[in-house]
Structure 1
Amino acid sequence: MPKPSVAELRPVVHPPGVKDRRSGEHWGGRLYMREISLRVDRHLVNTRITPNHVTYVMTAAAALAAPALLVPGIAGAVLGVVMVQLYLLLDCVDGELARWKKQYSLAGVYLDRVAAYVCDAAVLLGFGLRAADLWGEGRIDWLWAFLGTLAALGAILIKAETDLVGVARHQGGLPPVKESASEPRSSGMALARRAAGALKFHRLILGIEASLLVLVAAVLDAVRDDLFFSRLCVAVLAGIAVLQSLLHLVSVLASSRLK
């Protein structure tokens, strides 16, 4: 069976709205990865590979970001970025493959969400261990490993706070939450949310953005010949994760999502 062309794939795997989803599409997907994934799709759609197979590999790539970042120097940071970009690519491919083959499953949705948790946690945990200087000649400074773990837990908690809204509504016999229900009911909370959305500092604790920050810090560390910038970034990310997890919890409780 001949491979479909990109032009044949596009209207099926990129239906209207896919790239415009408010919370379901990363800027990297919109900017470049969806075009790359189309080229990968055409080699997979006529095989026995299922969307869930792709999701398994995607999850493994996300998890491998942590040990990749333990490689010292810029090489480890580059390897970490490669693992995360592979995760992003496969995150596009699994959904596109599902649309082409019409193979949808709740297991696929669940696994996709697990992979997102793993990606964020792996990068932040790996960053903390990297800043602790595991392979250095001096004493390992576990403070940075702790802060990286704290950042990872905060990033996971934020995702859990969002996902648990659906769990709470289901257990309460309510329908899925509507997009408009996420808006805060008070004007003060709405203003704070708009300010946070404009600054976008919370995105730094997402795996894709954090991996790029690791690379920038690694380059700056190489110039200084120490780990100053990596440790500074880990401390900042831990602070953002703790603050954002608290603010997000307040935002959920102040909205109509649990009503």
Structure 2
Amino acid sequence: MTMQQERSTAAPRPARPTLEQLRAVAQPPEVRSRKNAEHWTAQLYLRHISIYCTALLVRTRISANGVTALMILAGWCIAASLLIPGLWGAVLALVFSQVQLYLDCCDGEVARWRGTSGASGVFLDKVGHYTTEGLVALALGVRAVGELGLLRTDPGTAYPYLLAGALLASLVLFNKALNDMVHVSRAFADFGRLADTAQATAVDGGVLGAARRAVRFVPFHRIYHSVELSMLAVVAALVTAGAAVVGVTGPVPVVGDPGLLGERWLVLLLVPLCLLSVIGHFVAIMASRRLRA
């Protein structure tokens, strides 16, 4: 179903709804209580303010898929911003990450209000998040190189960070794909849709259960979303700026140019952490009830 082929399945609703009317339809309890589908920023504050933008959007002719397209564009702008050197590029990326998630809240609210929810919207949402998070991870590697002229003048310094960014992007995408693999596997086995609850994803007791509970205190497996990666980019830029002030150069040649201390350590550290997350995610899926009827 294309953007132009959307068909409303809902009864006619007011063209200029009140916020209360919108909240009742666009933000029902089953949406607000979802365990995995809601990012923590949505639960903390974005859902509280997204309804105001949705109230404006439903008064226009833009479709829910059109809002999703804007979300995708905002996501790509995160990666593009990271190509701007220094602190301001990282800050701009963080701003766009908030815009992306804000629009990500709004597109679903518009779809629920108009009754146009469908497979095309889910598909476009997946395209948006997969491309964004892959591009952001890759951009972190490019950002760590600094001057792309190093690819010609000093490839030994530049290529390790490009490789790290490419590996990080691959691991981030594979980690995301594991969740979709669960849904595909359940569909092929006629198990029905997996409930988005803690019980459905719980790992039985024992060593794995204890390990999963311990990880909650250091949730590094949750840092591969565009928001968290943008926040880490800001922290890395601040580390670089602070190191320049105090004259810290870091270990050479492992990091190389002291002017990119934070950015280079960031991408080098994220790769093994993401690999560990992928392994843990796979083991948790196999040990949980997710692949059972």
TM-score norm. by structure 1 comes to 0.92
* Aligned with residue 120 of structure 2, among 63, 86, 107: 107
Q: In structure 2, how many angstroms separate the alpha carbons of the residues matched to 1:134 and 1:11? A: 51
Task: Describe the superposition over 1:76-96 as per-residue Cα deviations: whole angstroms up to 9, x where unpaired.
Answer: 112211221111011000011
Larger Rg: 2
Partner of 1:175: 192
Correspondences of 1:226-245 after superposition (within 5 Å): 226-245=259-278
Task: Describe the superposition over 1:99-147 as per-residue Cα deviations: whole angstroms up to 9, x where unpaired.
Answer: 1111111110121122122222122111111011135777361211211
Q: In structure 1, how many angstroms separate the alpha carbons of the residues matched to 2:15 and 2:36? A: 35
Q: How many residues align?
A: 259
How far has the Cα of 1:186 moved from its partner?
5.0
Letter in 2 for 1:30: Q
How far has the Cα of 1:209 moved from its partner?
0.7
SS in 2 for 1:245: helix
Partner of 1:253: 286
Task: Describe the superposition over 1:173-199 as per-residue Cα deviations: whole angstroms up to 9, x where unpaired.
Answer: 222234434222451111111112232
CA contact (8 A) 2:240 2:261 kept: yes
Mean Cα displacement is larger for which, 9-18 or 26-35? 9-18
Does 2:58 correspond to 1:41?
A: no
CA contact (8 A) 1:70 1:129 kept: yes
Does 2:225 correspond to 1:206?
A: yes
Partner of 2:167: 150
Query: Quick one: structure 1 residues 32 and 186, their matched pair in 2 at CA, closer, same or farther if it must change by over 3 Å?
Result: closer
SS in 1 for 2:242: helix
Does 2:46 correspond to 1:27?
A: no
Q: In structure 2, how many angstroms separate the alpha carbons of the residues matched to 1:76 and 1:92? A: 25
Unaligned 5+ runs, structure 1? none
Q: In structure 1, how many angstroms separate the alpha carbons of the residues matched to 2:236 and 2:66? A: 34
CA contact (8 A) 1:205 1:240 kept: no
Mean Cα displacement is larger for which, 58-67 or 89-98? 58-67
CA contact (8 A) 1:6 1:42 kept: yes
TM-score norm. by structure 2 comes to 0.82
Partner of 1:188: 207
Mean Cα displacement is larger for which, 136-145 or 182-191? 136-145
How far has the Cα of 1:73 moved from its partner?
0.8
CA contact (8 A) 2:145 2:162 kept: yes
Q: In structure 2, how many angstroms separate the alpha carbons of the residues matched to 1:231 and 1:165? A: 34
Runs in 1 of length 4+ with deviation above 6 angstroms?
Answer: none
**RMSD of equivalent CA atoms:** 1.9
Q: In structure 2, how many angstroms separate the alpha carbons of the residues matched to 1:258 and 1:83? A: 36
CA contact (8 A) 1:170 1:176 kept: yes
CA contact (8 A) 2:17 2:55 kept: yes
SS in 1 for 2:285: helix
Q: In structure 1, how many angstroms separate the alpha carbons of the residues matched to 2:144 and 2:168? A: 13
Partner of 1:55: 68
SS in 2 for 1:205: coil
Letter in 1 for 2:25: V
* Aligned with residue 86 of structure 2, among 73, 79, 84: 73
Query: Quick one: structure 1 residues 2 and 173, their matched pair in 2 at CA, closer, same or farther if it must change by over 3 Å?
Result: closer
CA contact (8 A) 1:184 1:190 kept: yes
Partner of 1:161: 178
Q: In structure 1, how many angstroms separate the alpha carbons of the residues matched to 2:22 and 2:39? A: 20
CA contact (8 A) 2:15 2:58 kept: no
